[in-house]
């Protein structure tokens, strides 16, 4: 449960983003917060529900927001970072044959590809099934990601390189911050020469996901994106979508663990912060150090 104080922070963010003269009252429970976010999402073409992948509170919040949007009449496509673009035919087949969502997870190799327990995502797939929503596989295929990370974007054929190159205006501070984040995520164990290639791979993934979102938006009135919250940071998915199609109306919902050092930018006209309890994690660097 999100405490009332956390809920009021959501209300404050909504008040910043609302164009209405009055802000609706906020219930003291997550369902009330979800309804308010769903109301704000009506004007957005793309709604990001950014998660820490292993936090069940984030997944519960995502399902509440999506269910509230559906109850209000929205019929978005649901797009997943956890599914790669080359899996789209398998996704379509798995969702179309009436299989139980757990069987879908097995068919798509969810656990084999290292994602957290599918049961945290299952409520989203249950809503997909109930409302007949299209599912979009977003991410760049893993062999291409690995090749860019190992050899750099320049190793790809010209046409593919052009399609995966960032369209963002150069910004040195943003790129340095991204490089620091990647180094920290790899526990400072990356060779210095590898970091620029990892940055290129990160941008290539975001460009791919942005293109997939816009393709989905051509077929659906709205797209809800299930994605790691790091992809919502400056230089991430929303910026790439805007570079590809300026003026796209986007709403970022950022599920942020209370006390997290990486709390992201403050709430603004396009970003709502939903504070959640943290989860305990083992030392993520231990396996890397032991290799």
Taking the C-alpha atoms of residue 189 and residue 84, their distance in angstroms, rounded to an integer, is 27
3-state helix, strand, coil in the chain (%, to 5): 50, 15, 35
85 neighbors 118 (Cβ within 8 angstroms): no
Cα 265 versus chain centre, distance: 16
With respect to residue 186, please indicate whether it lies within any of the assigned structural domains.
Answer: yes
Q: What is the DSSP string of 4-71?
A: HHHHHHHHHHHHHH--SSSPPP--SSHHHHHHHHHHHHTT-SEEEEEE-TT-HHHHHHHHHHHHHHHH
Taking the C-alpha atoms of residue 212 and residue 108, their distance in angstroms, rounded to an integer, is 19
Taking the C-alpha atoms of residue 139 and residue 209, their distance in angstroms, rounded to an integer, is 5
pLDDT of amino acid 27 = 40
Cα 90 versus chain centre, distance: 21
CATH number where 226 lies:
3.40.50.11550
223 neighbors 229 (Cβ within 8 angstroms): no
Q: Scan for tokens 């976010």, then name that residue.
A: 37
With respect to residue 283, please indicate whether it lies within any of the assigned structural domains.
Answer: no
pLDDT of amino acid 1 = 38
pTM of the entire structure? 0.88
Two tokens, residue 203: 């941008």
Q: Which of 94, 100, 88 is nearest to 219 (CA)?
A: 88
pLDDT of amino acid 23 = 30
CA dihedral 275, 281, 285, 289 (to 10 degrees): 180
- Structural domain for 136, as ranges: 4-275
With respect to residue 288, please indicate whether it lies within any of the assigned structural domains.
Answer: no
> Within the chain, how many helices (H) and strands (E) appear?
12, 6
With respect to residue 74, please indicate whether it lies within any of the assigned structural domains.
Answer: yes
**Dihedrals φ, ψ of 170, to 5°?**
-55, 140
With respect to residue 287, please indicate whether it lies within any of the assigned structural domains.
Answer: no
Taking the C-alpha atoms of residue 252 and residue 137, their distance in angstroms, rounded to an integer, is 19
With respect to residue 123, please indicate whether it lies within any of the assigned structural domains.
Answer: yes
176 CB burial (10 A radius; 0-12, 13-18, 19+): exposed
Domain count, the chain: 1
pLDDT, tens digit only, all 291 positions of the chain: 344 444 444 444 444 343 332 233 334 578 999 999 999 999 999 999 999 999 999 999 999 999 999 999 999 999 999 999 999 999 998 888 776 777 888 888 999 999 999 999 999 999 999 999 999 999 999 999 999 999 999 999 999 999 999 999 999 999 999 999 999 989 999 999 999 999 999 999 999 999 999 999 999 999 999 999 999 999 999 999 999 999 999 999 999 998 765 666 665 669 999 999 999 988 888 877 776
With respect to residue 167, please indicate whether it lies within any of the assigned structural domains.
Answer: yes
With respect to residue 86, please indicate whether it lies within any of the assigned structural domains.
Answer: yes
């Amino acid at each position: 449960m999100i405490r009332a104080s956390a809920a009021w922070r959501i209300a404050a963010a909504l008040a910043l983003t609302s164009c209405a003269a009055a802000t609706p009252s906020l219930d003291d429970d997550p369902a009330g917060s979800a309804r308010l976010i769903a109301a704000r999402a009506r004007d957005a073409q793309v709604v990001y529900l950014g998660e820490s992948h292993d936090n069940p509170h984030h997944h519960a919040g995502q399902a509440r927001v999506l269910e509230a949007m559906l109850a209000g009449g929205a019929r978005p496509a649901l797009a997943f970072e956890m599914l790669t673009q080359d899996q789209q035919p398998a996704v379509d087949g798995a969702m179309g044959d009436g299989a139980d969502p757990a069987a879908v997870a097995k068919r798509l190799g969810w656990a084999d590809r290292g994602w957290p327990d599918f049961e945290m995502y299952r409520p989203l797939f249950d809503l997909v099934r109930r409302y007949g929503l299209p599912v979009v596989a977003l991410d760049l295929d893993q062999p291409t990601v690995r090749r860019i990370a190992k050899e750099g974007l320049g190793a790809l054929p010209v046409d593919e390189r052009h399609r995966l190159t960032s369209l963002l205006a150069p910004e040195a501070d943003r790129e340095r911050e991204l490089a620091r984040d990647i180094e920290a995520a790899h526990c400072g164990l990356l060779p210095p020469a590898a970091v620029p290639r990892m940055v290129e791979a990160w941008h290539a993934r975001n460009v791919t996901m942005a293109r997939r979102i816009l393709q989905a938006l051509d077929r659906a009135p709205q797209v809800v994106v299930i994605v790691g919250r790091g992809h919502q940071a400056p230089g991430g998915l929303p910026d790439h979508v805007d570079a590809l199609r300026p003026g796209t109306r986007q709403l970022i919902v950022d599920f942020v663990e209370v006390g997290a050092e990486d709390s992201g930018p403050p709430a603004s006209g396009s970003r709502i912060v939903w504070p959640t309890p943290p989860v305990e994690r083992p030392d993520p660097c231990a396996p890397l150090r032991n290799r």
